[in-house]
Structure 1
Amino acid sequence: MHCVYWISFLLLYISGKSEEDTYFVFTFIYMWKILAEVTAAYGLIYWIIPQTLNKKKYLLFIVSATGWLYLVFALLMTFKYYYLQPRFPAFFDGWLGQKMTVPERLTSFKLIFREFSFITYPIIILGFISFNRKQQRLLKLEEEKKSMELKFLKNQLNPHFLFNTLNNLYTLTLKKDDKAPEVIAKLSEILDFVLYRCTEDYVSIEKEIALIENYIALEKLRYDQNRLNISFTKDISENNTISPLIILTFIENAFKHGVVNETEKAKIQLNLESKKNQIVFCIENTKPQNESAFLTDKSQIGLENVRKQLDLLYPKKHQLEIEETQTSFKVKLYLNT
């Protein structure tokens, strides 16, 4: 592609020259001019800019770039004077620097400006192309970094969730409870979701609801009806997509802190709305009186993971509200889809 770029410039320079001898002379002379431009461009783009501008050394960049371009200009003027002009004098008739000596050429502001304009024009174009490619590479690397971080966060979340579920099953099997087969069936559905569906960044809200309902069903099997009062209301007018497991951490914390440590009857209220371009999730649970710091243990890690996932998947498109009182803990999450 670079070869095509420079050949195009050469063809632009020699266009309109129909006579064979003139065409040959123009081609030969402008090949040297193109060589000077190539030297100036690639030296600037691949040597000076990475060592100065990319490292925010702006003054050094200005000095280095100016010095480099002037060096290329000086070499080109010297080569023209001692080699090209004696061999092709007719070509240089009427040229601005025709009757100048080398020192005069190197100090002529008009000549410097004219030659620099020819040198810098292709540099600007090539620099823009290189900058655009670099930005695309950075965006690709950022996407790969985002994907890797999401996988890392999910790998942290999934074992935590599976551990709690397997612990529920272990408790029931120890009691030889008849509910164990039902737990295994629910667990199978959950495992299918966690192991296969969670590889996607987003799933339908209906699949996420099915996961939540299975999880709640498993948790309810652990407690007597007189011990737990739980409600899950849904208002799904739009089948939006949502990041898998993104709201499950809040539900896990509600059971872990609002039910496990509660000696009296615990209460959990969940509400999920899916409307046009927005998902709203709200969960509120009672808090045991002896639990003064609701978020001082490992659950804080899970919430931090959720926050990081929200920042990655819903940048500037989410709002998380957490409200804690002496008797309750409430989370409200807004997701703009």
Structure 2
Amino acid sequence: MFKTLLKNTLLLNISAFLMVLILEILSVWAIKDRFDTDYLFYMHSVNFTVFIMGTIWINHFILIPYVFDKKRYLLYALLLILIVFLGAYLKGYAKNGWYGVSKMFFFLIYTTGSGMAAYFVRRNIIFRRENEEKEKLQKEMELNYLKEQVNPHFLFNSLNSIYALSRQQSPETPEVVMQLSELMRYQLESSKKETVLLKEELEFIENYLLLEEKRLSKRCTVEFLIEGNLAGLKISPMLLITFVENAIKHGAQSTNEPSSIDISVIVKNATLYFCVKNSKPSLIPDSKRKGFGLENVKRRLQLLYPNAHALEIKDSDKIYLVNLSVDLAISN
């Protein structure tokens, strides 16, 4: 990293030196005949370029990092004016006296100011690029952490379902274990990807609902409706399942009363409209642990689709409703 930065700095300053040298040669080309030889003409241009770039380099590599960046602005201004004045005096007084000094002073102010402008623009671009890289890295780390949380959360819920069937000594328990293994296989494979096909994600949800229906028996009716063209659309994996799990856990699973879960998926113009509505029991048992699934998925939505989603949650006495819309065009 340091070698690359040093290399880029050297190349940039060599390029700036050559550009100033070319401009200096062109600017005095009309009076080339005043010099005895071509060698003296070119050496004059080289010396003047070294003088100009030397003043700029003193400012860039000494004054700015050791004075300006430490917020000693008054001292920086005084030192810069002093250096420019000394340079103007050494270069201009011998030829044209104080008139030459003043002329050279303003010329150096102009060139040094132009160099400062280019320097700060470049530094701002570098800082902004570094900040963007840091934010991207932080975002990736946070997303990976959130995705790692999804796996055990889903597994614990599924194991609870199998545990309930095993206590009932249900003959469907082995089949449910196989279904769970397929669900976990999909989850493990999808967690390695940034996006998956929306069709596959909805098939995963449908299979999960079939598994839960066997455990809940006939006391819960589940409706799962899909409308629209899903072809080619992709979505972040395991993003929707949390809302389904929440509907089951805090609805049908928490009561022996008849309950219902209605899930609708509508796709229009690459926008997904996902709605989950579940009935709530008349008596809600106190929960010893507060689930983090919804907070997790809210955070993932903010990171993955910051300006491309809308989430509305309504919690009434009898109904819990989730309306989510996501513009999937940005991930396709």
Q: Distance in 1 between matches of 2:186 and 2:14?
A: 51
Asked if 2 retains the 8 angstrom alpha-carbon contact of 1:45 and 1:127, the reply is: no
Name 2:327's counterpart in structure 1: 336
2:52 aligned residue (29, 33, 44): 33
Deviations 1:198-241 (A, max 9, x none): 2323221112102101211221121212x110110001314322
Distance in 1 separating the partners of 2:160 and 2:285: 26
CA contact under 8 A between 1:229 and 1:268: conserved in structure 2?
Answer: yes
Q: Which residue of the partner structure matches residue 236 of structure 1?
A: 228
The CA distance in 1 between the partners of 2:59 and 2:148, in whole Å, is 50
Provide closer, same or farther for how the CA distance between residues 273 and 7 of structure 1 changes in structure 2, counting only shifts above 3 A. Answer: same
CA distance in 1: counterparts of 2:106 and 2:43, whole angstroms: 27
- 1:331 and 1:143 map into 2 onto residues whose CA distance is 30
1:243 and 1:163 map into 2 onto residues whose CA distance is 21
What residue number does 1:73 align with? 84
Which position in structure 2 is the counterpart of 1:11? Answer: 21
Q: Which residue of 2 aligns with 1:137?
A: 130
Q: Is the 8 A contact 2:260 2:279 kept in 1?
A: yes
Q: Structure 2: which amino acid aligns with 1:125?
A: A
Q: How many residues align?
A: 308
Report the alpha carbon displacement of residue 293 of structure 1 after superposing the two structures with TM: 8.5
| Preserved CA contact (<8 Å) 2:264 2:274 | yes
SS in 2 for 1:210: helix
Q: Deviation string for 1:276-332 (max 9, x for gaps)?
A: 1311000000001112889x9523x22111111111111121111111211111010
Report the TM-score, using the length of structure 1 for normalisation. 0.82
Q: Offset at 1:65?
A: 4.7
Give the alignment of 1:199-214 within 5 angstroms: 199-214=192-207
Identify which of 129, 150, 157 aligns with 1:157: 150
The CA deviation at 1:78 is 4.5
1:99 paired residue number: 97
Report the equivalent of 2:213. 220
Structure 2 unpaired stretches of 5+:
1-10, 33-37
Whole-angstrom distance in 2 between the partners of 1:132 and 1:77:
32
Deviation of the 1:64 alpha carbon: 5.0
Matching residue's letter, 1:23: Y
Range 255-264 or range 8-17, more displaced: 8-17
The root-mean-square deviation of aligned C-alpha atoms, in Å, is 2.6
TM-score (norm 2): 0.83
Q: For residue 248 of structure 1, what is the aligned residue in structure 2? A: 241
Asked if the contact 2:216–2:253 (Cα under 8 Å) also holds between the matched residues in 1, the reply is no
Alpha-carbon distance, 1:263 to partner? 2.3
Alignment of 1:320-331 (within 5 A): 320-331=311-322
Read off the aligned partner of 1:32 and give its amino acid letter. Answer: F
How many Å apart are 1:12 and its aligned residue? 2.8
Shift of residue 37 of structure 1?
0.7
Letter in 1 for 2:300: Q
Q: How does 1:274-285 map to 2 (within 5 A)?
A: 274-285=267-278
Distance 1:273 1:111, change over 3 A: same
- Give the gaps of 5 or more residues in structure 1: 53-59, 87-91, 93-97
C-alpha spacing 1:244/1:4, structure 2 compared with 1 (3 Å): same
Residue pair 2:199, 2:230 contacting (<8 A) in 1 also: no
Amino acid in the other structure paired with 1:235: E
What is the identity, as a one-letter code, of the residue corresponding to 1:228? C
Identity, in percent, stands at: 27
User: In the TM superposition, what is the alpha-carbon distance from 1:195 to its structure 2 partner?
Assistant: 1.8
Tell me which residue corresponds to 2:140.
147
Contact 1:14 1:23 in 2 (8 A): no
Q: 1:293 to 1:332 in 2, by over 3 A?
A: farther
Indicate the residue corresponding to 2:185 in structure 1.
Answer: 192
